[in-house]
């Protein structure tokens, strides 16, 4: 069933757990995420990123995601990840998304504040929750948020971090529901081992007073993820780990096939592998 994001986040705040926000770019991805959460009896945030429009066009995927989310036996929030374009966001809302990340982090701060504030006012009028970002998360996925080049080492990751004072002002003025904080993670695979800045996280939590979101969860050590949950992160965005997990098993399946291999068998293999991956992350966040 689709549930109110604000109520889910309030429950996570009260009970010190976090919810996995997993991007699904294929039918198998949707099945994997929802069946993982159902098997664990945990809530989940089913995400669609604007940058994946090419693979999962929202006019087809929006209604599909909504149908699966409604049918699910666990609480589901339908979330638009890194929405940058107003018309795209409106489409997502029309298809039933009840949580929107309006990503203006690449813009100058004052413009980020002004745009997110105006959007949040309208979104709240119609019961939509808003996530936004200050500081910019670097990216090692082509096209996903951030502003770095694929495979290029970042010299000073601290330059991308969220400033706690600015985070406080940003949340007070925009009245958003969730804040994406940058404190050591990167979208996609890491070139260097990530080391999260927990002191900064503590200050951001104190200054913002709202549930925090960590992007770039793939490749972060489990102990650091658990510490981040304790530190106030209530939503962990997870994608690369799930989306790449099926490649090797599929390769093996194709190589070892003794007869004709139907595509639905390959798709099923992908769904099974991605489910295991999603389950592992959901369980780690104490949301079961």
* CA 281 from centre of chain: 12
In the complex with ligand 13P, the residue whose CB is nearer, 71 or 106, is 106
Instruction: Determine, following the binding rule CB under 6 A, whether residue 218 of this chain makes contact with ligand 13P.
Output: yes
Structural contact between residues 99 and 79, judged by C-beta atoms closer than 8 angstroms: yes
Of 69, 81, 78, nearest to 31 by C-alpha is: 69
Residues forming beta bridges with residue 83, ordered by sequence position: 102
Among 9, 12, 23, 183, interactor with ligand 13P by CB under 6 A: 23
CB of 41 to ligand 13P, least distance (A): 23
What distances in angstroms separate CA 129 from CA 8, 14, 99, 120, one per listed residue? 11, 18, 5, 8
CB of 203 to ligand 13P, least distance (A): 22
Among 75, 146, 188, 231, interactor with ligand 13P by CB under 6 A: 188
**155 tagged catalytic:** no
Binding mask 77-116 for ligand 13P (x = CB under 6 A): ----xx----------------------------------
The stretch among 6-14, 55-63, 239-247, 268-276 that binds ligand 13P (CB under 6 A) is 239-247
The stretch among 86-94, 123-131, 231-239, 276-284 that binds ligand 13P (CB under 6 A) is 231-239
Instruction: Determine, following the binding rule CB under 6 A, whether residue 216 of this chain makes contact with ligand 13P.
Output: yes
Structural contact between residues 241 and 281, judged by C-beta atoms closer than 8 angstroms: yes
Of 217, 52, 215, 227, nearest to 136 by C-alpha is: 215
Is 241 annotated to bind a ligand? Reply is no
Structural contact between residues 23 and 237, judged by C-beta atoms closer than 8 angstroms: yes
The stretch among 55-63, 64-72, 91-99, 213-221 that binds ligand 13P (CB under 6 A) is 213-221
Structural contact between residues 233 and 18, judged by C-beta atoms closer than 8 angstroms: yes
The stretch among 106-114, 152-160, 216-224, 257-265 that binds ligand 13P (CB under 6 A) is 216-224
Is 219 annotated to bind a ligand? Reply is no
In the complex with ligand 13P, the residue whose CB is nearer, 110 or 153, is 153
Q: What is the DSSP letter of 231?
A: T
Of 18, 9, 32, 59, nearest to 274 by C-alpha is: 32
Among 240, 245, 277, 287, interactor with ligand 13P by CB under 6 A: 240
Active-site residue, selected from the candidate residues 81, 159, 163, 165: 81
- Determine the angle formed by the axes of helices 27-40 and 58-71, rounding to 10 degrees: 20
- Count the neighbouring beta carbons within 10 Å of the beta carbon of residue 70: 12
Among 237, 245, 277, 287, interactor with ligand 13P by CB under 6 A: 237
Give the chain's count of helices (H) and strands (E).
11, 8
Instruction: Determine, following the binding rule CB under 6 A, whether residue 68 of this chain makes contact with ligand 13P.
Output: no
**How many angstroms separate the CA atoms of 17 and 207, rounded?**
20
Q: Which residues bind ligand 13P (CB under 6 A)?
A: 23, 81-82, 187-188, 215-218, 237-241
Catalytic machinery residues: 81
């Amino acid at each position: 069933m689709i549930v109110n994001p604000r109520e889910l986040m309030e429950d996570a705040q009260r009970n010190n757990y976090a919810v996995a926000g997993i991007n699904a770019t294929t039918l198998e991805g949707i099945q994997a995420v929802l069946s993982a959460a159902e098997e664990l009896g945990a809530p989940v945030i089913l995400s669609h990123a604007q940058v994946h429009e090419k693979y999962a066009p929202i006019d087809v995927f929006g209604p599909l995601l909504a149908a699966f989310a409604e049918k699910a036996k666990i609480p589901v929030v339908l979330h638009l990840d890194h929405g940058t374009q107003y018309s795209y966001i409106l489409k997502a809302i029309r298809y039933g998304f009840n949580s929107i990340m309006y990503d203006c982090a690449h813009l100058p701060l004052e413009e980020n504040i002004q745009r997110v504030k105006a959007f949040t006012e309208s979104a709240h009028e119609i019961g939509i929750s808003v996530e936004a970002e200050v500081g910019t998360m670097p990216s090692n996925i082509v096209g996903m948020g951030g502003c770095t080049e694929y495979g290029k080492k970042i010299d000073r990751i601290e330059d991308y971090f969220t400033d706690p004072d600015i985070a406080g002002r940003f949340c007070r003025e925009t009245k958003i529901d969730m804040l994406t904080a940058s404190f050591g993670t990167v979208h996609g695979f890491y070139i260097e081992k990530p080391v999260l800045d927990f002191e900064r996280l503590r200050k951001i939590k104190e200054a913002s007073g709202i549930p925090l979101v960590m992007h770039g969860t793939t490749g972060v050590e489990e102990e650091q993820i658990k510490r981040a949950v304790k530190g106030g992160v209530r939503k962990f965005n997870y994608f690369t780990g799930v989306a790449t997990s099926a490649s090797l098993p599929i390769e093996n399946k194709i190589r070892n096939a003794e007869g004709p291999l139907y595509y639905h068998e390959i798709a099923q293999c992908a769904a099974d592998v991605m489910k295991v991956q999603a389950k592992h992350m959901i369980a780690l966040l104490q949301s079961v």
